[in-house]
Amino acid sequence: MGIIEKSRKKSPWIIHYDCTSCNGCDIETLACLTPLYDVERFGIVNVGNPKHADVLVVTGSVNKRNVRVLRNIYEQMPDPKAVVAVGACACTGGVFKECYNVLGGVENVLPVDVFVPGCCPRPEAIMDGIVMALEKINDKAKKK
């Protein structure tokens, strides 16, 4: 196993994008970074540059305005990469599903690897989703 593969497995870097949401899932995702949940103890680091990220964590539903930004972030991420949809809105559109400008869940515009249901999911469930995404990334790396 090369150094990049090893570091990706031991210390995945994530990028978080909040689409249209009530901010509930956004806040629970950020709670993962606090000392109470301390996601960094698993080597998981939140970054601001998509070019450095292995996992895209998306909260909220996709709409006609944010879809371009979401796709732009995804396309800048290097392969292999994974997408985690966090919360009912990111999974299906949730309470925003019938809104005039909403396209639905993330799956409608990007390939989603892990769905974390709930409104809103607890930080433990979000961290579980990220760990599951790591397995997906490792599977993709093996197929390359």
> Taking the complex as a whole, how short is the minimal distance between the CB of residue 1 and ligand SF4, in angstroms?
37
The whole-angstrom distance between residue 84's C-alpha and the CA centroid of its chain comes to: 4
Q: Compute the distance between CA of residue 56 and CA of residue 40 in angstroms, rounded to an integer.
A: 16
- Indicate the residue whose CB is closest to ligand SF4: 24
Token pair 């515009």: residue:
109
> Taking the complex as a whole, how short is the minimal distance between the CB of residue 26 and ligand SF4, in angstroms?
7
Q: Name the residue nearer to ligand SF4 (CB basis): 12 or 94.
A: 94
**Beta strand extents in 19-132 (DSSP E only):** 45-46, 55-59, 62-63, 82-86, 102-104, 114-116
Q: What are the tokens at 28? A: 């629970």
Q: Name the residue nearer to ligand SF4 (CB basis): 4 or 69.
A: 69
Binding site for ligand SF4 (CB under 6 A): 21-22, 24-25, 59-60, 87-89, 94-95, 119-120
> Taking the complex as a whole, how short is the minimal distance between the CB of residue 92 and ligand SF4, in angstroms?
9
